[in-house]
Structure 1
């Protein structure tokens, strides 16, 4: 039986976007889109698992300085196609809780980056692995978009988002102990962040279809992308 959480030796927040009910009654397929924190190095067991999942492509949403400090394991492997797809906006750390949804809104408004990301995902015949650093913010925004495209309910999108902190909490707690100057909300994926983001999304763009038109995706690409999720 497919499972949502995927256990790799080098990540803690790797999850499948399969198993979510859509408005048309279909369920998103397992093994199509995997979301994650950044993998630094793969074991042979990791590689075997990724191949079993059918993953052929990885998209990395981190900034150039981040990838230079810690290259993605996918970039180092000849077994996968690797795309560096940074956002132009929203890469900074939020100064307050209230700023988190604002950063997400900036990412959503980065139409060139979103167009490239969704276009690459649509073009891939195999399964796609998407990641940033901890797999919560930039990856969370892209995952939310993909689930909106599939017609998944807001409640399920919020549930998918907020579980990140559960898997990241030990790493975050250690980070806060080592750096007490960091704000206490560091690393959290509170439901309210994504709920406010989606409220802003619908107020600004109306529907996911209107948004995709503003992004500039062709109808054929949108159809391909929707079909890829099932």
Structure 2
């Protein structure tokens, strides 16, 4: 189960599973062009799942041009927006330990989509990566496939955001170790980080158990598997 790159003018880090797509991941769509919106619809996307906090969405200059229904599922539920420092592993643990209902809601939106669902956060790396990982695991993807997909994101976001991230972190007064961890948090997607996350998921009983306990429902798990299987047979 491997995604192919999807060219969407006005965003980055976009990959699609299937043609037509049952699942797409990307960075935010705030600057999506009309051509990008047309490509999104042509890929089969029928709903957008936005994982950002309200403060992040409010910073957008204008509503997205794609015209598709949007399901808002803020994962962090923090008034000041996403954490600016910390480790990739620690933040994934926080979400798995304390935000499983929100993660299950995001996965449910993918299952409920009439066509494909596009999942995004700000840059399409970590929040998106966790929702996509849970979705892929219950849909039948292997651990190696999930890890490999996550590891593709760093190259798509790193260089473009490096200067911006360094400016943001300069104001925090972090020591060298914390600064290095924060740079990794914002810019990298190492396979080791997703390996750690999948270890946590497996230690908790697996993606299916976590999502069922968070209220997803067996019927939605079946829908996800049916979507992935239909793509595999196409």
Q: Same fold (TM over 0.5)?
A: yes
The residue aligned with 2:109 is 120
What is aligned with 2:27? 37
Question: In the alignment, which residue of structure 1 is the partner of 2:176?
Answer: none
Where structure 2 has 5 or more consecutive residues not aligned to the other structure, the ranges are 173-178, 230-234
CA RMSD of aligned residues (A): 2.4
> Partner of 2:136 in structure 1?
147
Aligned to 2:125: 136
Q: Counterpart of 1:57?
A: 47
Who is 1:201 aligned against? 201
Q: Structure 2: how far apart are the matches of 1:105 and 1:8?
A: 31
Gaps of 5+ in 1: 19-28
Q: Tell me the residue number matched to 2:155.
A: 166
Q: 2:96 aligns with which of 98, 102, 108?
A: 108
Q: Quick one: distance in 2 between partners of 1:117 and 1:132?
A: 11
Instruction: Give every structure 1 segment of 4 or more consecutive aligned residues whose post-TM-superposition deviation is greater than 3 Å.
Output: 71-74, 88-92, 176-180
3-state SS of 2:82 partner: coil
TM-score, structure 2 as length reference:
0.81
Contact 1:39 1:73 in 2 (8 A): no
Q: Partners in 1 of 2:166 and 2:206 — Cα distance?
A: 42
Structure with more of its chain in helix, by fraction: 2
Secondary structure in 2 matching 1:57: strand
Helix, strand or coil for the counterpart of 1:229? helix
Task: Tell me, in whole angstroms, the C-alpha distance in 1 between the residues paired with 2:218 and 2:145.
Answer: 26
In the alignment, the residues of structure 1 paired with residue 28 and residue 12 of structure 2 have an alpha-carbon distance, to the nearest angstrom, of 9
Deviations 1:150-207 (A, max 9, x none): 221111111100111111122133325645727342311111111111111111x222
